[in-house]
Amino acid sequence: MFKFISLEMHKFKIRTYVLASIVSCIALLGFTYLISVISRVEKDPLFQSYSNIFKFIGIMSMIIFTVLSAVMYSRIVIEDYIGKRLVLLFSYPVSRSKIFLAKVCFVTLFTVIALMFSNVACLFIFSITELISPIVRDTLTPFCLLNTLQSILLTALTVGALGILSMTVGFIKKSMPTTIITSFAFAATVGNMIMSGSLEIGLILLGILIALDVLVVREIIKKINQMDSI
């Protein structure tokens, strides 16, 4: 399986997606400073709280990386199974299910790791500058940072789960635009539910999403095994 994942990394030029993740990290960091400065100037109490700022950034990162995940699935899965590559794909002397699972694992692992690195980097840089020259009229406590790190992990795993569901919709509709649009809708909806609720609610939602992922992946594998390569 790891060999197949490695092949996918080389086949689809992972550098492109790494660059996209770095750009996303810079954009998130810039947006963090932007809303902090605006809220201070406008004296908006909502974003003069570190907790609210980090929650809002969490929603933004969930949307960005879920859409990135959908773009990757469109290129790596949807394009392969609805285009001319299908004949070549099925000519490989490897189990069809293994090829598909390798693609899913590759995209899921990449987006989960990329989101975590991006958010942790953003949190680290913003926190350091706030300790030196604070913008936000709030106290940055270790408890707040710990909660944010827990939220980042939950967000990353949720993005991985949402990406698979978005890919499933696109696979059924045989449409790459549908995959991307669906990912945005899923991320915006679930992101608001997680960030406005407690950690327990987020974990329950994640559990439901993972269960759905297992079911839909099994169904897609069945459909792929029944496909005709001609």
Query: What is the chain's mean pLDDT, rounded?
Result: 83
pLDDT (0 to 100) of residue 230: 44
Round to whole Å and give the CA distance between 128 and 217: 42
Whether pLDDT at 158 is above 90:
yes
Q: pLDDT band for 225, please (50, 70, 90 cuts).
A: confident
pLDDT at 228 over 60: no
Which pLDDT band, with edges at 50, 70 and 90, does 11 fall under? low
Residue 229: which pLDDT band, with cuts at 50, 70 and 90? very low
Rounded-to-integer distance, Cα 145 and Cα 149, Å: 6
Query: pLDDT (tens digit, 9 = 90+) per residue, 76-119?
Result: 888 777 765 554 555 555 666 777 888 888 899 999 999 999 99
Give the pLDDT score at 87. 47
pLDDT value at position 145? 87
Q: How confident is the model at residue 156, as a pLDDT?
A: 93
pTM for the full predicted model: 0.85
Burial class of 175 by CB neighbour count within 10 A (0 to 12, 13 to 18, 19+): middle
Q: How confident is the model at residue 160 (pLDDT cuts 50, 70, 90)?
A: very high
Q: Is 182 helix (H, G, I), strand (E, B) or coil?
A: helix
State the CB neighbour count (10 A cutoff) for residue 18. 13
CA 191 to chain centre: 11
Both tokens of 117, joined, read 């690195």
Alpha carbon of residue 86 to chain centroid:
27
Check pLDDT > 70 for residue 134. Answer: yes
pLDDT digits (tens, 9 = 90+) for 177-202: 888 999 999 998 887 777 776 778 88
The alpha carbon torsion through 81, 84, 85, 90 (nearest 10 deg) reads: 70
Predicted confidence at residue 6, as pLDDT, reads 57
Element (H, E) at 121: helix 96-132
